[in-house]
Chain A
Amino acid sequence: MTTKLKHLPLHLVAALLGAFVAVPLIYAVVGGFKDTAQLSTNPFGLPDPWRTGNYTEVLAAPEFWRQLGNSVFIALATTLLVVGVSALASFVLARFAFRGREAIFTLFAVGLMFPFAVAILPLFVLLRTFGLLDNPLGVILAQAAFGLPMTIIILRAFFRTIPNEVEEAATIDGCGPFGFFWRILLPMARPALATVSVLAIVGSWNNFMLPLVVFTDQQWWTIPLGVQQFQGQYASDTARILAYIVLAMVPALAFYAVAERHLVSGLTAGATKG
């Protein structure tokens, strides 16, 4: 009883903060089932009647699915590119001794401090010169380039932990450097690859600034752009916007539920090594 009482304030603080986080999310989910008149007369209560129209209309809109598809495609392509290119580079940066190695690694690592916003204007001009505006490749390449520092730092640290004996054994069995990299190192590094992939996917999924300047054509819009545009289009129809953002949240939250472990280990590793 006494321990229960002692812990009461703790429970209270945790519950209050839990409410602070959860209430906006619950409000959005429940609000999507109301109409806008209900939202203003009855902000807290359950919908009466429950209206599924907001959700079904969004789900029936081809724009929503196109944005979802664009977001998925851009996230996967970015991840494949940044992880592949970084794995190659991290391999030689981790396991070969050569002059200038530390200088190259430091250059990549310093890139961690370059805020994306600093490069956005010249990046826009460059992408326009290469004809990559309104082209998903413009976003994919730039996101991959800015993802390199974090990915290389994490992968290199992991590649270094693999004992030399493994490499020697592979070499004796006739593996060249690429054979060792492809058939031994990468399979062994699966946890680290999962971690950096999850970071790259989340980063790409949530990116707003770059798609904003690259895509003027709605054809290529991603979810964050679509969400902003939808709010502008239906400014007074709050319930419909709530339904839209709830549906836009679902993939991110589902992904989080599946990949929580990798995301957490990636973020804490990135933070302690950055």
Chain B
Amino acid sequence: MVKTAPGVLPALRVAAQRPPRARRGLTIALFLLPAVVLFALLVLAPILLAFYAGFFKWNGMGGLPQDFVGLDNYLRLFASEVFAGDLRNMGFLVLASLAVQLPLSLGIALLLNQRLRGRAGYRLLFFAPYVLSEAVTAVLFSMILAPDERGLANAILGAFGLSSTWFADTSTVMPALFLVMTWKYFGFHTLLYLAGRQSIPKELTEAAQIDGGTPWQVFRHVTLPLLGPTIRISVFLSVIGTVQLFDLVWIITGGGPSHASETMAVTMMEFGFKRLQIGYASAISVVMFVLSLVFALWYQRFVLRRDLEGATVNR
């Protein structure tokens, strides 16, 4: 900008810019308004309302809740056997995902990154279940994993003299659910890892090979560290998805047999829509929210941050 006499310029500028600036403000407001209104009304307001309703005994009728009960809903929740089961089931699914599904996805991604014949076809196939709805997946597997000999899985196992009760028994229902989740979601994680692997420059792995690294060493000391950010994102999405698992469980087992496969979202819907205890159900949704939020913040702070630290240390 050209320098003129200091006293004159600000006044001139203000005079020259006032009409466009006001219009500019109006433009910004008008462009933002629809998104802000939609978000405030249907995302923020319901979440705030859930927090509020969690302190009331409320059947959801007649305006805002009136019957304030303080922390009663939460006390009842934390004393509840079913809720403890919800947490156990969530823990099981999170651990199983981390221990089985993610290493499997990573391995498959590295495999598909090799020159494997038909890899485009495999990629298409592995990812296909992800685009199916959980509802379709649930109905399909409730038939395939039927406990009697009519189910395909037991027909296959029967050839080896084996069989399973799948969703029909409290001891097998969670592993069976985990099997369905793996079928539906490992392709998605494979896709993430594949994208991450392909963003690693060839020079790095080639240099390690030329220096005499065995395939395992190249993987352990070059590929794996460079995949760090992708792994952390994949873990994050997996955990957040598990916390709110609903469709599959609701359709296949409804949380049974005898609450053995119930998740927090299922318990919430059960109390919210079947028994009309909206206050108590809101308390459950608040716990879900807080769990996700605390996990997300903790993860951002302590795990995702390492990506940045690594960058500075290596420099």
Contact = CB atoms under 8 A, between A and B. Distances in A.
Given A14-B108, A121-B272, A148 B116 contact: no
Contacts of B139: 227-228, 230-231, 241, 245
B141 interface: yes
B41 interface: yes
Contact of A231 (B25, B132, B142, B191): B142
Given A21-B128, A115-B288, A148-B35, A122 B47 contact: yes
B86 to A, nearest CB: 12
Contact of A209 (B27, B38, B246, B281): B246
A218 interface: no
B122 A121 contact: no
A126 interface: yes
Interface stretch (B89-97, B149-157, B161-169, B170-178): B149-157
Nearest to A269: B195
Contact of A145 (B38, B150, B250): B38
Interface of B: prevailing SS: helix
A269 to B, nearest CB: 9
Interface stretch (B69-77, B204-212, B216-224, B237-245): B237-245
A21 B183 contact: yes
Nearest to A209: B246
Nearest to A202: B131
Interface residues of B, number: 86
A89 B35 contact: yes
B263 to A, nearest CB: 9
Contact of A253 (B24, B128, B188): B128
Interface of B: 24-25, 27-28, 31-32, 34-36, 38-39, 41-43, 45-47, 49-50, 53, 60, 104, 107-108, 111-112, 114, 116-117, 122, 124-129, 131-136, 138-144, 149-150, 152, 155, 183, 187-188, 191-192, 195, 229-230, 233-234, 237, 240, 243-244, 246-247, 250-251, 265, 268-269, 272-273, 278, 281-282, 285-286, 288-289, 292-293, 296
15 contacts: A18-B125, A89-B32, A91-B31, A118-B47, A118-B285, A118-B288, A121-B60, A121-B285, A141-B38, A145-B41, A213-B273, A230-B139, A231-B142, A248-B136, A263-B131
* 9 closest cross-chain pairs (CB), A and B: A224-B135, A145-B42, A206-B133, A89-B35, A122-B49, A122-B46, A119-B46, A115-B244, A43-B155
